[in-house]
């Protein structure tokens, strides 16, 4: 296994600076943001990917010795108005990944909030069938993070139809693979280790994020959270500062033969606000995880 992180936590930094810092800290991989402009999460310029951009990114990884584990573009592929543009950008991410020798592109299934779940699943089959086929022709796998994305639904219901093991089984039938993130399972009351074991063969990428329960909030709001604009009953933290049992998670991954990248997804509000604070948070995650991982 290799330890890396997702570059979205450092939107104001250049990929060269991120990679040099990561290598100097002992990280071995990067999951690189590939959103289109004007979004600042575009450390790889997928929307204008050409030979010069391929050479620039390739040179950064060659000079630092890091592995490019995935190109990240986590958006709603079933959005009722913008879905076609999202699907087209996923294809551009696949093109860039293939040119760079990157094995995966990470995204969300998403959801049309105006349709029942059953209708969304039918739409997803129509959308992802061609995308998965396109990726396979280019030697790339599309991996889906199991994030709930409640913010995509007007009533706070799951906005990404890949949040539970039941839905993972469904998405495998479309040829999609799992980008496993235990933090979201904790927030759903699902044991992340018990959920992981039956799905190890379909885990193609791993994200590492932790979940902290806020005192007294769950008893007031329940699992669905508040109906007002107040913050919910949990918040995300860097690994080591929440409830995920990382010793068990890494051990189960190792026992199951996973030899890919574990990518820290830094969304910790405590260790945010400046580059230095984000880097400190990444350092906490590194010290939590590195000694648990073989290799």
- The average pLDDT across 259-278 equals 97
Helix (H) or strand (E) run with residue 247 in it: helix 246-255
Label residue 154 by pLDDT band (50, 70, 90). Answer: confident
pLDDT of residue 228: 64
pLDDT of residue 217: 85
CA dihedral angle for residue 158, residue 184, residue 106, residue 206, rounded to 10 degrees: -160
Interval 118-152: pLDDT, tens: 999 999 999 999 999 999 999 999 999 999 998 89
**How many CB atoms within 10 Å of residue 164?**
17
Label residue 226 by pLDDT band (50, 70, 90). Answer: confident
Percent of the chain at pLDDT > 90 equals 88
Q: Give the count of alpha carbons within 13 A of 238, CB side only.
A: 24
pLDDT of residue 292: 97
Label residue 80 by pLDDT band (50, 70, 90). Answer: very high
Mean pLDDT of the chain: 96
Give me the phi and psi of 155, to 5 degrees please.
Answer: -105, 10
Cα separation, 76 vs 87, in Å, equals 9
Label residue 224 by pLDDT band (50, 70, 90). Answer: confident
Fold of 2-292: TIM Barrel (3.20.20)
pLDDT of residue 155: 84
pLDDT > 80? residue 16: yes
pLDDT > 90? residue 92: yes
- Angle at alpha carbon of residue 175, lines to 174 and 177, rounded to 5°: 115
Q: Count how many residues are written for the chain.
A: 295
pLDDT of residue 191: 97
Which stretches of 112-216 are DSSP H helices? 117-137, 165-172, 182-186, 192-196
Cα separation, 162 vs 184, in Å, equals 11
């Amino acid at each position: 296994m290799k330890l890396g992180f997702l570059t979205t936590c450092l939107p104001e930094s250049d990929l060269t600076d991120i990679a040099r810092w990561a290598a100097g800290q002992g990280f071995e991989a990067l999951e690189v943001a590939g959103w289109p402009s004007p979004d600042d999460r575009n450390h790889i310029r997928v929307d204008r990917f050409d030979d010069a951009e391929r050479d620039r990114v390739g040179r950064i990884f060659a000079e630092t010795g890091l592995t490019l584990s995935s190109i990240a573009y986590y958006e709603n592929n079933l959005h009722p108005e913008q879905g076609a543009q999202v699907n087209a950008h996923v294809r551009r991410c696949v093109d860039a990944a293939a040119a760079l020798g990157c094995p995966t592109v990470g995204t969300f299934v998403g959801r049309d909030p105006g349709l029942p779940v059953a209708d969304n699943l039918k739409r997803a089959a129509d959308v992802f069938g061609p995308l998965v086929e396109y990726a396979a022709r280019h030697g790339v796998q599309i991996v889906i993070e199991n994030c709930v994305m409640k913010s995509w639904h007007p009533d706070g219901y799951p906005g990404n139809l890949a949040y539970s093991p039941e839905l993972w089984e469904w998405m495998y039938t479309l040829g999609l693979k799992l980008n496993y993130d235990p933090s979201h399972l904790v927030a759903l009351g699902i044991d992340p280790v018990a959920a992981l074991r039956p799905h190890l063969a379909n885990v193609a990428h791993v994200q590492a994020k932790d979940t902290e329960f806020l005192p007294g909030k769950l008893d007031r709001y329940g699992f669905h959270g508040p109906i007002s604009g107040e913050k919910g009953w949990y918040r995300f933290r860097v690994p080591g500062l929440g409830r995920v049992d990382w010793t068990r998670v890494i051990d189960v991954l190792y026992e199951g033969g996973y030899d890919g990248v574990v990518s820290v997804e830094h969304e910790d509000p405590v260790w945010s606000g400046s580059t230095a604070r984000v880097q400190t948070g990444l350092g906490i995650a590194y010290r939590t995880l590195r000694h648990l991982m073989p290799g």
